[in-house]
Each structure stands twice: as C-alpha cells, then as structure tokens.
Amino acid sequence: MEILLQNFDLVIFLVLAIFGYTAGSLAEKRHYRSIIKREKELLKMAVVTAEGSFPPERIQEVALVMGSVVISIDYFKRILAILRNIFGGRVKSYESLVDRARREAILRMKESAKEQGAKMIINMRLETATIGRSANKKKSVGSVEAIAYGTAIVMN
Amino acid sequence: MQFTPKQLNDNVNVSKTHPLIELFWLIGGLIVLVGLVFLILGVTTDWAVSKTPIKIENWIGHLALAEFPADENKALEQRLQSLLDSLPEDSPLHQYNFHVFLDESDIVNAIALPGGNIVVYAGLLNEVKSENELAMVLAHELGHFAHRDHLRGLGRGLGVAVAATLLFGEESAASSLVSKTLLTFQARYSQDQESAADQFGLDLLTRRYGHAGGATDFFSRLTEDAGSKLPYLLASHPHPKVRIDALNKLIKGRHYSIAKTQPLAPDLLP
C-alpha cells in the first residue's frame, strides 16, 4: 500500500492507460460497426472526385454539401504514439483514428446530400486537421478533425 | 463510364497489429535501449574515472562541497593524518590534499566527496565508542578514494539522470520510473564497492594499530539497535551483519591479531 502511495503519479498513469485502452477500443469497435452499417445504406449514392460535366437540362439543383467530425485520441493511443516517436516507423495507433474520421466525414456529407434529395456528389475533397496542436506534449490529449465537402447534384 | 457501387470488406488504411502486441514490442525495445545506455555509461565512466587527473577531481570537489554545509574538523583531520602516515610511500592517496568535515545532522553515515573531502555526520560520531572504530570508518572512506568510487558514482548517476530526462522530459512519469529502476542497480553496484572499501579499511587499520581490534565493533552496534537510523544506511551499504561476517573471514584469512581497543580521546567526545 505504501509503495502505491509513494508512486502515486505512476498509479495514475497506469489507471489512465488501462481506462484509455478499454474505453478507447470499445468506442472504436462501436464506431466501426456504425460506419460499416451506414456505408452499406448509402452505397447507392455516388461520390467522385472528378469534376464531371452534365447537360444543363438534366440538372435540377446543385448544392455545396459537407460533413465534418472531430475524434479524440485516448490516453493509451497516446502512449503508443510517444513510444513510436522514439523508434520511428508507422504510428499504427493513430491510423484507425484518421481512418474513422475520414469515413465518418464522408458519411455525414452523404447524409446531408441525401436530405436534399441528391443522387450524387461530384468534386469531393477531404481535409484533415489537428485540434489541440500540442497533442504529444505534456498532459494534453489532442484530436483529429476531418472535413469532406463536394457538390451535390439533384437530377431531373 | 459505368459507376458500380461496391463495399470493400478489407481496410488497407489501418494496420492489423493488435495494439497490445505493439505496446509489448515498443516497451521491450525501450528496455533494451535503456539497458544499452546503462552499459555504455558504465564502461565510459569506468574509463573516464581511471583517466581523471586529481587536479580535475579537486575542481569537481569544490562543486560537490557547496552542497554540504559543514565545518572542517581539526580533531578528525588529525586522526586521518595518522592513518595516511601509516600508508606505504608509493600510495596514490598521498597526492590528495584531504579535508574532513563534520556535519551536525543525526545521520549515521560518512561520505567521500571528490577532491579528498570526507564528510562525517555527527550521528556517526555519537555511535563511535573507540579510536579504533573511528579509524576503521575513516580508513573505509580512504578505501573509496583509493578505488575512486566517489567519481564512479557521480559519473553514472549523472549519466542516467541526463539520459532519462533527454528521452522523456523532466516531468514525465516514465523518466522517474526509469531512474528509480536504474538506481536500484546503482545501489547494488555500490554494495560491491562498499565491500572493497571495507577490505581496504581493515588492512589500513591493521597497519595503523598493529592489530584488527575494533574493526567490526561499529557494525555490530548497528545490528543491535536496528532502530530508526538503520534504514538509511541499508539503502546503499550491505547489511551490517554481512559486513561483519566478511570482515571476520578476512581477519582469519590474513591472520590478523585482535587486541584491546583505545577509548575515544576527550577532544572528540560530545
């Protein structure tokens, strides 16, 4: 018991790491389930990065649509990333984070286009940004933002 | 061009490695890295210690002494001088200009600082009952100088702290964990040095008084009152019982005689 009290900062560190791992992987699993389910539902909506040109009489309406999402890293992913900073190599713990953020952003964009009755989105662009720049610095946990935007087309 | 919607089952953008397996590899690599740093530091320190001229050591000594506010003690220096006089002519210890300081705190310990400075704590002086015991303690510290342990400890301790801080930053829990684990190594390392210094002390004590009487008295008193002050000494030194046994074995092996000890002279009585 005394050893625990003497190394209190260490105990906090371990508790945070274990909590971060359980909560983080539960959240990730749930998120992926929801992403895959919604991607299936919205499969019919075409999203392309090409500009596309259509005869004017076929187009009823065009609109800018976008979807954005912010996802936070958890304490465990941060530890893995800090250790990676020593050795170099792929930061695998952040890969799923960015993947989730981009797919979620595209899904939200598609949902917004669907509400407007659009059948397809052209000229789609994706951008990623960090929120909380000091993500790897002391005691701060950063997040990633992904934003997807494009032109939704409502056909006649 | 035909647009065919298709859902991919595989995700190429995310690595398949389980995060716990990755953690395992990373921590394993870290442990190997820290071990290597410690090994290299040990080798370079040993090399640097044997090459350090006493002039540089004296300069380090001034820096170290600033951290120990203590007064020079003439009575103790006189005892040390008579020990030095009984050393052989060619002993490298004669190159040092020794000073003995008395610190007023209750700690039962004495430290060898670089540059020939010895700090004796008042707590130790209160425990000592005879001239021979005191000579044994001082001779033990001289043993540290003869083996240059005081420099060794400084070099490696410093190197470990610097390396850990560089890797993880000052306030991180990881660097305090690393230095804690490594400092237990440090204590182990210095236990061998303590035994070597004990051996040196015993030989010098016998040269000074012609017999090994009083060599173990101080440690046996420590074993008896295993009370409040003991844990401090145990941290870096071997257990007193172990030291007594080792000393007795040496006395027997070298056929040293044991005669009556001289009581402490009045100039050092509290």
d(CA B75, CA B100) in angstroms, rounded, equals: 9
pLDDT of residue B25: 92
d(CA A129, CA A96) in angstroms, rounded, equals: 15
Number of C-beta neighbours around residue A44 at 10 A:
12
In a domain, B3, yes or no: no
pLDDT of residue B80: 86
pLDDT tens-digit map of A1-37:
667 776 777 888 889 899 999 999 999 999 999 999 9
Asked if the Cβ–Cβ distance from A92 to B26 is below 8 Å, we say no
- Write the ipTM: 0.77
The letter for the amino acid at A107 is: L
Structural domain boundaries in chain A? 2-155
pLDDT of residue A147: 96
pLDDT tens-digit map of A31-62:
999 999 999 999 989 999 998 888 888 899 99
For an interface test with B, the pick among A92, A120, A121 (most B C-beta atoms closer than 10 Å) comes out as A92
CB-neighbour burial class of residue B166 (10 A; exposed 0-12, middle 13-18, buried 19+) = exposed
Q: Which residues of B touch A114 (CB under 8 A)?
A: none
B177: nearest CB among A10, A39, A44: A10
Residue B12's H or E segment, with its range, is none
Q: How far is B270 from chain A (nearest CA, A)?
A: 37
Asked if the Cβ–Cβ distance from B13 to A92 is below 8 Å, we say no
SS (H, E, C) B73-104: CHHHHHHHHHHHHCCCCCCHHHHCCCEEEEEC
**Confidence band of A102 (pLDDT split at 50, 70, 90):** very high
> Does residue A40 belong to the interface with chain B, where contact is any CB pair within 8 Å?
yes
In a domain, B11, yes or no: no
Q: Greater confidence, A141 or A57?
A: A57
Digit-by-digit pLDDT tens for chain B (270 residues) are: 677 878 888 888 888 889 899 999 999 998 998 888 878 877 777 777 777 777 777 776 776 676 666 778 888 888 888 888 888 888 878 888 888 888 888 877 787 777 788 888 888 888 888 888 888 888 888 888 888 877 776 666 556 655 666 666 656 555 555 555 554 444 444 677 888 888 888 888 888 888 888 888 888 877 766 554 444 444 556 677 778 888 888 888 888 888 888 887 777 766
Asked if the Cβ–Cβ distance from A21 to B19 is below 8 Å, we say yes
CB environment B31-49: b (16+ within 10 A), e (fewer): eeebeebbeebbeebeeeb
Instruction: Show which of residues 32-51 on chain B sit within 8 Å of chain A, judged by CB atoms.
Output: 33
B171: nearest CB among A90, A92, A138: A138
Instruction: Show which of residues 125-154 on chain A sit within 8 Å of chain B, judged by CB atoms.
Output: 138
Residue B112's H or E segment, with its range, is strand B110-113
d(CA B40, CA B155) in angstroms, rounded, equals: 12
Q: How far is A87 from chain B (nearest CA, A)?
A: 8
> Does residue A72 belong to the interface with chain B, where contact is any CB pair within 8 Å?
no
Asked if the Cβ–Cβ distance from B15 to A92 is below 8 Å, we say yes
> Does residue B26 belong to the interface with chain A, where contact is any CB pair within 8 Å?
yes
For an interface test with B, the pick among A86, A119, A122, A136 (most B C-beta atoms closer than 10 Å) comes out as A86
pLDDT of residue B183: 46
pLDDT of residue B232: 46
CATH number for region A2-155: 3.30.110.70
Number of C-beta neighbours around residue B155 at 10 A:
19
Number of domains in chain B: 1
> Does residue B177 belong to the interface with chain A, where contact is any CB pair within 8 Å?
yes
The pair of structure tokens assigned to B250 is 């040496």
Q: How far is A30 from chain B (nearest CA, A)?
A: 16
Span A84-92, mean pLDDT?
Answer: 87
pLDDT of residue B159: 61
Distance spanning both ends of chain B, measured CA to CA: 103
Asked if the Cβ–Cβ distance from B167 to A10 is below 8 Å, we say no
Nearest CA-CA partner of A93 in A103, A75, A81: A81
- Structural domain that includes position B235: 19-268
pLDDT of residue A83: 87
**Confidence band of A139 (pLDDT split at 50, 70, 90):** low
Which ranges of chain B does DSSP label H, i.e. alpha helix? 19-51, 54-65, 74-85, 122-127, 131-147, 149-168, 173-209, 217-224, 230-236, 240-253
**Confidence band of A103 (pLDDT split at 50, 70, 90):** very high
pLDDT of residue B214: 81
